Amino acid sequence: MQKKELIVVGLSASASQDGKNYSLILQDTTSERKIPILIGVNEGQSIALVMEKLKTNRPITHELFKNTLEALGATLQEVLIKDIDNGIFYASIFVVNETKQKIEIDARPSDAIALAVRFGCPIFTYEFVINEAAVIEDSGKLNLKRGSFAEYTLEELEELLASILAKEDYESAARVRDVIERRKSVG
């Protein structure tokens, strides 16, 4: 299968689950398709530190892992988001050691991407993952992948909201937020 490169285009605190998640937005480099992924607070903050070029007094976990790899003469070559199953993403990191041996290591996508932004290495996925998870935007406005908000689960609506907010389309975001609030109040 041919790999498609993704780039990190946005990260925001999720409007859901009392601030216990971040929404990470990845974009296919050859199209406008975006993949929203809900990630934990620690991983979100770890990615944000790099994106905002902030330094910590002491190394956090992802910096420790990077420092360890480098001390062992290894480097992170690439990240691959290799599958999606029932909305859960699966990833691997590919490390090249000092003898140029390429080693695949299973990883959560959030950890893999937190390392990728530190190493400056590419992030890849497959077309079927993009087709399953992508949201498409047209001229700055979101095109829903389904005809009605009623066809979205609450989790999908929250991911959609994060994607819209990342694009700073506040008018559409308000509509989605209202649907989420109505859904939560009903049940």
117 in any annotated domain: yes
Q: In the block, which residue shows the tokens 């996925």?
A: 125
Q: 19 falls in which pLDDT band (50, 70, 90)? A: low
Pull the structure tokens for residue 91.
Answer: 């990833």
* CATH code for the domain in which residue 95 is found: 3.10.690.10
DSSP-derived secondary structure letter, 73: T
- Local structure of 52: helix, strand or coil: coil
78 in any annotated domain: yes
pLDDT in tens, 162-178: 877 777 777 677 777 87
Going by DSSP bridges, is the β-strand pair 123-126/75-85 parallel, antiparallel, or unpaired? parallel
pLDDT in tens, 54-90: 888 999 999 999 999 999 999 999 999 999 998 899 9
Answer yes or no: is pLDDT of 17 > 60: no
Answer yes or no: is pLDDT of 41 > 50: yes
Q: What is the value of pTM for the model shown?
A: 0.71
- Local structure of 76: helix, strand or coil: strand
State the pLDDT at residue 160. Answer: 80
State the pLDDT at residue 150. Answer: 62
CA angle at residue 85 from 156 to 133, to 5 degrees? 45
129 in any annotated domain: yes
Alpha helices in the chain (DSSP H): 41-51, 61-71, 109-119, 127-133, 154-166, 170-186
Q: Which of 10-14, 27-31, 65-69, 131-135 has the lowest mean pLDDT?
A: 10-14
Q: Which domain holds residue 54?
A: 3-143
pLDDT in tens, 92-148: 999 999 999 999 999 999 999 999 999 999 999 999 999 999 886 654 445 444 445
Domain count, the chain: 1
63 in any annotated domain: yes
CA 6, chain centre distance (Å)? 10
**Phi and psi for 166 in degrees, rounded to 5?**
-60, -30
Pull the structure tokens for residue 176.
Answer: 């989605």
DSSP-derived secondary structure letter, 84: E
State the pLDDT at residue 121. Answer: 95
167 in any annotated domain: no
Closest CA to 76 of 92, 95, 63: 95
Alpha helices in 75-125 (DSSP H): 109-119
155 in any annotated domain: no
120 in any annotated domain: yes
180 in any annotated domain: no
Residue 58 to residues 15, 55, 64, Cα–Cα distance (Å):
29, 9, 9
